[in-house]
Amino acid sequence: MIEKTVAELSAAMTSGDISSVELTQSYLDRIHKANDSLNAFITVCDDTALEQARVADKSRAQGNQNPLLGIPLAHKDIFCTTGIKTTCGSKMLHNFISPYNATVVDKFNQAGVVTLGKTNMDEFAMGSSNETSFFGPVRNPWDLEKVPGGSSGGSAAAVAADLCAMATGTDTGGSIRQPAAFCGVTGFKPSYGRVSRWGMIAFASSLDQAGPICKSAEDAALMMNVMAGIDLKDSTSADREVEDYTATLSDSVKGLRIGIPKQHFTEGLSADVEKSIREALREYEAAGAILKEINLPNSHLSVPAYYVVAPAEASANLSRFDGVRYGHRCDNPLDLEDMYKRSRSEGFGDEVKRRILIGTYALSAGFYDAYYRKAQKIRRLIKNDFDEAFKEVDVIAGPTSPHTAFGIGAKTDPVTMYLEDIYTIAVNLAGLPGISIPAGFSNDLPIGLHIVGPDFGESKVLNAAHQFQLFTDWHKAKPAAKGGI
């Protein structure tokens, strides 16, 4: 039962084939069996999860038919949760218990979901492999010696290994979609502002976006029906009507115009990945979609622009972690300055320190115009490229990552690691919706197909992804990890 999609589990509970308590206990048993191998969870909430499941069963017995009622979920440990640790994968917050819920958490609670626990992540969401976590690296369910991708690698690994039915993630430069590709699951990043960021610990405020990680595009649509919407507590939340994202899933892709960026099929792309993506695109063509090569001339500038903008915003956001109000504080500080220095030096890991330094430098007097302002101008050019492309096509498709999951410890050069998100970063800079869905294998490791839509074109993206999953079954494959789980 735990291998089923959210939609299938919801139907099973509606028909009485299984209760939420039974399902929740099955997931908890699976977590306690497999988590030592995967390290996907930082915190597991056995007692509260079972209590939520009992409440859900009572509510369903009284006639509540909310599709997500009683479905077990895991939250990335970047979302504040009342009474449960929110660590952000960092020593800085290793003992922080939030006094409030993030809006996303509240929305899922109101829908009656069961919170199984909090998933491991790259520290403060800074990483592409889930190796920067203070709590140790997450391992890929397909091969325990491989990374799951980052920063939402714990959520992606948990879904892939059937430790939960669905999970939340956050995406600043590809941190939902890249781990989804590496773990063979579905990961969706909505348009910027579509989902509230309130209570989601900030990395780069103009780029961060929460989204679902699950087993299918249909499940992502069900989750988005809960997650999406304006939040008056978040000034960047979009004041737009929330669609029923399941309503257009069944629409035919006949006549759908799919743009293929020529820049995404050049040097650096693995031959196996390219072959799988080309075959996936032919599936669309066979279903009546129209493929059209497009040009995104400034896409090669997305990585350098991102690694100025994101660290600059991180430098500002992480200044609040100073040892004064909450988070790690050093022992026996000599004075205030010593407390600041040692608390931050001890509390932050190497990658976080690196990005704070880069961001502080980029924002400093004398360098602001040379770096940060120029990066923002490039960002506008990248957005303009997408706007022009969407005049000719409905969605854009290509590889999520240039290759499959790499080995733990295989990439030690930060610049090489930064290039992991080369196909996804531009979508965050432009604030567009994007999804990664399974589309093949190379050496028994999953390959992700990346589909991008125009501003607030979530329904188009989810429809295109769902239709692909109707005429293929890559998303149904299950890992039998080398090393065993």
What pLDDT sits at residue 415? 86
Task: At 114, list the tokens.
Answer: 């069961």
Fold of the domain built from segment(s) 6-256+433-476: Amidase signature (AS) enzymes (3.90.1300)
CB 263 within 8 A of CB 385: no
CB 295 within 8 A of CB 260: no
pLDDT digit of tens for each residue in the chain (485 aa)?
999 999 999 999 999 999 999 999 999 999 999 999 999 999 999 999 999 999 999 999 999 989 999 999 999 999 999 999 999 999 999 999 999 999 999 999 999 999 999 999 999 999 999 999 999 999 999 999 999 999 999 999 999 999 999 999 999 999 999 999 999 999 999 999 999 999 999 999 999 999 999 999 999 999 999 999 999 999 999 999 999 999 999 999 999 999 999 999 998 999 999 999 999 999 999 999 999 999 999 999 999 999 999 999 999 999 999 999 899 999 999 999 999 999 999 999 999 999 999 999 999 988 898 899 999 999 999 999 999 999 999 999 999 999 999 999 999 888 889 989 999 999 999 999 999 999 999 999 999 999 999 999 999 999 999 999 999 999 999 997 676 67
Q: How far apart are CA 400 and CA 420, in angstroms?
A: 10
What pLDDT sits at residue 366? 84
What pLDDT sits at residue 483? 67
What pLDDT sits at residue 114? 98
Length of the chain as a residue count = 485
CB 88 within 8 A of CB 98: no
What pLDDT sits at residue 484? 65
CB 249 within 8 A of CB 217: yes
The domains of the chain are located at 6-256+433-476
Active site residues: 76, 151, 175
Nearest to 110 by CA among 209, 227, 253, 255: 227
Question: Whole-model pTM?
Answer: 0.97
State phi, psi for 409 to the nearest 5 degrees: 85, 5
